[in-house]
Amino acid sequence: MINVFWAFVKKEWYHIIRDKRTLLILFGMPVAQVLLFGYAISTEFKGAEIDVLDYAQDESSVQLIHHLQSSGHFTLHNILTSEQEMEKGFKEGTTKLVAVIPRDFDKELFNGQPITLQLITDGSDPNNANTLVQYATTMLNDFQREQLSMRSTPFQIRVESRMLYNPQLVSAYTFIPGTIALILLIVCAMLTSLTIAKEKELGTMEILLVSPLPPLVIILGKVTPYAVLAFIDAVLILLLGYFVFKVPVLGSVALLLFCCLLYVLVGLSLGTLISTRSSSQQQAMMSSLMGLMMPSLILSGFIFPLSSMPGILQLIGQIIPATYFIEILKGIMLRGVGLQFVYLEILVLLGMVMVLLAFAWKNFNVRLQ
């Protein structure tokens, strides 16, 4: 029986290496996705163009304008002379933020009052607008503190916040775990369900069934190559993250790989389950895209935080394997925690494997109907 199994694996291997599309999904997609998330979908920004409407036009306001540009996050685009000109920049898309400096800016600054400086942003891109306002506010506070300290006002309360585990708020730290979760799901669940559905569609399943092969060997033979490839993908993404985006693995690498393996099993059992339910590749593709990819992308806490979603979506998020896997990855990679902090998530994934395998087993048909 072991010979039969290897013959099956070999056959599956031929299918994979002779199909350019599968190869592209296997190795092109992880690289492309990591690089895309890394460079394109970054929440950091540099050199955002701003306009300033300066009513004060004194020494302090000029210093403030210099200060705003000093970090490299903002570059001055235009000095405005009246309110009417404000919208022009937004409409042309050249300006991201307008800072309006009030007439008595100087006085407020040195009385130690909070500065009432008006910041106007383009609300059609709320994420960006928020980030800009945050940066600008931080810089204004810095500016005020600097000015005051030069005049030696005795008592000051300084708030210093620190972001643990990701002090620079590097977005790569969150997308590397998410990308691993997504790619493993695509390789394991989607490609496996596709390859089994393909045998049904082309009629080869008919011949395989009319042979002494036990169903278990058929399934194992089909999924084993994908399990190995998925594992290679996981390592590839970790390496890309480490060398290109400097995402560390603080915890145990062995534990990390073990969890990847567990998640691979979840994906494979999902894929097998989908394939037992679909008779064509198209059907399998739709089920895995709509049923797995979309929820894993949106409801797993990968892109949007789960805690800010309505209750029902949070519930759905909690039955998605990726939610737990991303938690585990963040724990091990970024916080460097050990088994005692992620064992609950591991148990949940183990439970999912059992349930899904039981379903797939029950659904596998030894006949055509």
**Which residues would be at the binding site for other proteins (CB under 8 A)?**
3-4, 7-8, 10-11, 14-15, 18-19, 202-204, 206-213, 366-369
Identity of the residue, 217 or 249, whose beta carbon is nearer to other proteins in the bound complex: 217
Cβ 7 to other proteins, closest distance in Å? 4
Cβ 195 to other proteins, closest distance in Å? 12
The string of DSSP letters for 257-271 reads HHHHHHHHHHHHHHH
Query: How many separate helices (H) and strands (E) can be counted in the chain?
Result: 17, 4
Q: 348 Cβ partners below 8 Å, 6+ apart?
A: 324
Of 20, 29, 345, 333, which is closest to residue 179 (Cα–Cα)? 29
Cβ 274 to other proteins, closest distance in Å? 22
Identity of the residue, 5 or 359, whose beta carbon is nearer to other proteins in the bound complex: 5
Cβ 207 to other proteins, closest distance in Å? 5
Compute the chain's Rg from CA coordinates. Answer: 28
Identity of the residue, 10 or 103, whose beta carbon is nearer to other proteins in the bound complex: 10
Identity of the residue, 18 or 362, whose beta carbon is nearer to other proteins in the bound complex: 18
> Could you give the CA distance from residue 245 to residue 223 in angstroms, rounded to a whole number?
32
Cβ 340 to other proteins, closest distance in Å? 46
Note whether 51 and 79 are within 8 A (CB).
yes
Place of tokens 């000015």: 147
Q: Is the dihedral of CA 217, 223, 228, 231 positive or negative?
A: negative
Identity of the residue, 213 or 316, whose beta carbon is nearer to other proteins in the bound complex: 213
Cβ 260 to other proteins, closest distance in Å? 30
> Could you give the CA distance from residue 22 to residue 28 in angstroms, rounded to a whole number?
10
> Could you give the CA distance from residue 292 to residue 322 in angstroms, rounded to a whole number?
9
Q: Which two tokens stand for residue 204?
A: 């080869």
Identity of the residue, 3 or 82, whose beta carbon is nearer to other proteins in the bound complex: 3
* Cα diameter, the chain: 91
